[in-house]
Amino acid sequence: MAMNACLCLHKPSIPYRPTVNALSPSFPSALSFRTNPTTQIQPRKPVSYGIVWNPKTMVGIFGAGLTLTLVGPASAADFPLLNSLLLGEPSNALSLPTWSVHVSSVVEWITAMALVWQYGEKSGYESWKGLSWGMVPLLGGAFCACTWHFFYNSEALEVLVALQAALTVIGNATMCIAAFRIYRSSEERSNNL
């Protein structure tokens, strides 16, 4: 269920575009017909990639991930102040890093569904919206898993495990069908060109 997100790739803020004069001897004569002799190619303006490419944000995200990884299993029962406020957790309670993986996976899945839907709308490829709908059963399975863990893997809620398995099978089938529909529509478009 977890989707890998690569947030640490460096994108240059100013793409390299050399300044070339069409009359310079180093400029290939075969390409000189494309440019005006007085025109020079200028570098583009800096592009902002948002919060993901902000170095301070990346350090914070990396530090939080490293901290959660190195701390090891932790739950509210490990903290005396929280333990006095709460009645305590059973031994099968999920650790904080495990909860962070569960919650972030669900958030990533919902984000992926929204991005696929937007791509279908903006590109005009309506078959991509079907992929977003095909992802819904798998999201339901993720909610089943999180609900079961939230109630400490209660035996009274064992039906959620079976429901999660069924939704996973259904979701895999619907995603396969959606992928086939995308393939078929792209094949039809390439034949129409």
What's the pLDDT tens digit per position in 135-156?
Answer: 999 999 999 999 999 999 999 9
Which residues, in sequence order, are CB contacts of 74 under 8 Å at separation 6+? 95, 96, 97
CA 22 – CA 37 distance, rounded (Å): 5
Residue 40 φ then ψ, to 5°:
-120, 145
By the 8 A CB rule, do 138 and 176 touch? no
More confident residue, 58 or 19: 58
Computed over every residue of the chain, the mean pLDDT equals 76
Tell me what the mean pLDDT of segment 106-115 comes to.
96
Confidence band of 92 (pLDDT split at 50, 70, 90): confident
Taking the domains of the chain in order of start, what are their residue ranges?
Answer: 94-193
Confidence band of 91 (pLDDT split at 50, 70, 90): confident
Tell me what the mean pLDDT of segment 149-174 comes to.
96
Q: Give the pTM.
A: 0.56
What's the pLDDT tens digit per position in 31-86?
Answer: 444 545 555 666 655 554 544 556 766 677 667 666 666 665 555 555 555 555 55
Of 81, 72, 103, whose CA–CA distance to 1 is shortest? Answer: 103
Q: Which residue in this structure is represented by tokens 């301070």? A: 56
By the 8 A CB rule, do 39 and 23 touch? no
What's the pLDDT tens digit per position in 173-182?
Answer: 999 999 999 9
Kindly calculate the radius of gyration of the chain based on its CA atoms and give it in whole angstroms: 26
Residue 168 predicted with pLDDT over 50: yes
